[in-house]
Amino acid sequence: MRSDLPGPGQLLFHDCRPQQRLATDIARPVRLLQWNIERGYQLPKILAELREIDADVIALQEVDIGCDRSGSADTGLEIAQALQLNYVFFCEFEELHSPARDARSQGGGVHGNAFLSRFDIHDARIIQHR
């Protein structure tokens, strides 16, 4: 595995919010969204939909970092940067590269879940299933 990628059970934080957009108090109810983005294969469409929904807190599943199938991108970070949100990635597992896979399924990075938020993220953690 590449040394710059988080390992299973590790977290990766990025705050992509500009200083003037730090949410401290909002006048409307908080909007929550959960979405399995299927590795970000349709990233431009995903971004368009997320902009339309304008959620305050977003939970994403099937987020890739560094996998061949997703162009070695950090799909969650790209979304966080585009929407200017705070971002934490929860690494679930290393997605191994395999000659038995076709290009659309090829690994080579890590895979997991993410939270994006207009708000500060405190005390994020992974609880290991036993």
How is domain 30-117 classified at the architecture level of CATH? 2-Layer Sandwich (3.30)
Q: Does the global pTM surpass 0.85?
A: no
Domain boundaries along the sequence of the chain:
30-117
What are the CA-CA distances from residue 120 to residues 11, 61, 87, 125 (Å)? 15, 20, 9, 14
How confident is the model over 67-100, as pLDDT tens digits? 988 988 999 999 999 999 999 999 999 888 889 9
Q: How far from the centroid of its chain's Cα atoms is residue 79's Cα?
A: 7
- Give the max Cα distance, the chain: 53
pLDDT of 23 higher than 80: no
What is the reported pLDDT for 21? 62
Structure-block tokens of residue 94: 């290393």
